[in-house]
Amino acid sequence: MAKILLVLYPDPTTGYPPPYARDSLPVVTSYPNGQTLPTPSAIDFAPGELLGCVSGELGLRPWLEAEGHTLVVTSDKDGESSRFEQELSDADVVISQPFWPAYLSPERMAKAPKLKLAITAGIGSDHVDLATAIDRGVTVAEVTYSNSIGVAEHTVMQVLALVRDFIPQHQIVANGGWNIADAVHRSYDLEGMDVGVFAAGRIGRAVIERLSPFGVRLNYTDRHRLPLEVEERYGLTFHDDIRSLVRDVDVLTVHAPLTDETRGLLSDELLGTMRRGSYIVNPARGAIADRDAIVRAVENGQLAGYAGDVWFPQPAPADHPWRTMPHNGMTPHTSGSSLPSQARYAAGTREILESWFAGTPIRPEYLIVEGGRYSGTGAHSYASRPPAPRAAT
């Protein structure tokens, strides 16, 4: 029997369960590339419930306890005296969400001799030290595609919010004002702009598809080039690297995983090569950007705005400068945790656990690390390697 340590974000401040705005979820029957939605044998929750917080427990407790496993759920994850560190020593499985990541550093993994499986309830497993997972034979899996479309929608929302300068306009109304000149002197149309997408995987491609009808010129880079037919359909200009991409765009959206290659990429130097007054929306990972370089760029006008929902560390400290810098459209890490996404990543987490306990293969698309090497999606999106030829699909 296994001990599963599940780290989730805290409950709503007003108590659990919260009142819900709607009675059902939108109907989604498959992912855009034909990948099937999660296929656990059963679920013990009603889709639409808040599952990602401590009391939601990803709906896992009835099943896990019926199977004889031990489930520990906590949001107390940081520091040596945290419940997470205390429970880690005999945990077989750790489950965490990128929104409230339980950082599995090399030091922490050394304190977890029984740990064999780290599941990301969501997408993006950089909070696990993947090199150490490889060395220690820990399997790392995530619920690929569970929230990709939600993140793409959030990206489009933030691009429009920045370019049109929505947030100050709303504040004018909320404050009882009506000065149109104040409201529009930084407001532009997205139509006619050059947009650059850094990494055209599941999210980046969905952003391309959603922005295409806005009458923009679309550019992208990725180490896997998209099929020619896709490039032609969206009029995409491919760039060999991000340096070439950022020079030619007004809006940059960022969708690569956080790796040794992408950490700190959005630096003073790179930002200095962009057009004055560019916009960046980064819902990938906060550490892809140099925190203070972004602040300098929005303060001196090199960037007209910066938005996203990812920070480092998370939760962001109260004095993180991105909370208060000018022209920011930041949200807490929410884009991938809408109620429909929660239903999918909760079901996908159970699917991964069912496979693990049954000793059957975890779907390759869910795998990041397995058997001491990058595997599945990990081999495609995380492993360090030279640019590959055009993707097959």
Chain residues that interact with ligand NAD, rule: CB under 6 A: 122-124, 147-148, 151, 199-204, 221-224, 255-259, 261-262, 283-285, 309-310, 333, 335-336, 377, 381
| Smallest separation (angstroms) from ligand NAD to the CB of 151 | 4
Query: Cα separation of 35 and 32, whole Å?
Result: 7
The residue from 147, 302, 328, 342 that is catalytic is: 147
Distance (Å) of CA 222 to CA 38, 197, 378: 27, 9, 15
Task: Pick the closest to residue 145 from 257, 7, 38 (CA basis).
Answer: 38
Nearer to ligand NAD, 217 or 263 (CB): 263
Instruction: Return the number of the residue (219 or 221) whose C-beta is nearest ligand NAD.
Output: 221
In the three-class reduction of DSSP (H, G, I as helix; E, B as strand; rest coil), residue 356 is classed as helix
Annotation marks residue 314 as catalytic = yes
List alpha helices for 30-112, DSSP H: 61-66, 83-88, 106-110
Q: Count the neighbouring beta carbons within 10 Å of the beta carbon of residue 317.
A: 10
Distance, CA of 94 to CA of 278 (rounded, Å) = 40
Residue 333 known to be catalytic? yes
Minimal distance, residue 13 CB to ligand NAD, in Å: 21
Closest contact distance (angstroms) between CB of 157 and ligand NAD is 12
Looking at the chain, list the stretches that DSSP marks H as alpha helix, in order from N- to C-terminal side: 61-66, 83-88, 106-110, 130-136, 148-164, 166-174, 180-184, 202-211, 228-234, 242-247, 268-272, 291-300, 339-358, 376-381
Instruction: Give the integer Cα–Cα distance in Å for 6 and 14.
Output: 22
For the CB of residue 180, give the shortest distance to ligand NAD in the complex, in Å. Answer: 34
State which residue, 63 or 306, has the beta carbon closest to ligand NAD: 306
Query: How do 70-74 and 3-7 pair as beta strands?
Result: parallel
Give yes or no for a contact between 355 and 366, defined as CB atoms under 8 angstroms apart: no
CB 168 within 8 A of CB 184: no
DSSP-assigned states of every residue in 225-272: PPPHHHHHHHTPEE-SSHHHHHHT-SEEEE-----TTTTT-B-HHHHH
**Exactly one of 219, 314, 328, 342 is catalytic; which is it?**
314
What amino acid is encoded at 54 in this protein?
A: V
Nearest residue to ligand NAD, by Cβ distance, number only:
201
Catalytic residue status for 147: yes
Q: Which is nearer to ligand NAD, 290 or 309 (by Cβ)?
A: 309
Nearer of residues 201 and 329 to ligand NAD, judged by Cβ = 201
Q: Which is nearer to ligand NAD, 169 or 341 (CB)?
A: 341
Question: Using CA atoms, how far apart are residues 92 and 360, in angstroms rounded to an integer?
Answer: 17
Active-site residue among 205, 225, 285, 380? Answer: 285
Return the exposure string of 68-89: e unless at least 16 CB atoms fall within 10 Å of the residue's CB, then b.
Answer: ebebebbbbbeeeebebbebbe
Instruction: Write down the least CB distance from residue 282 to ligand NAD, Å.
Output: 9
Residue 26 beta carbon to ligand NAD: minimum distance, rounded to whole angstroms = 18
Whole-number minimum distance, CB 123 to ligand NAD, in Å?
4
Considering the complex, state which of residue 169 and residue 377 has its C-beta at the smaller distance from ligand NAD.
377
Identified catalytic residue from 320, 333, 344, 363 = 333
Residues with active-site annotation? 147, 285, 314, 333
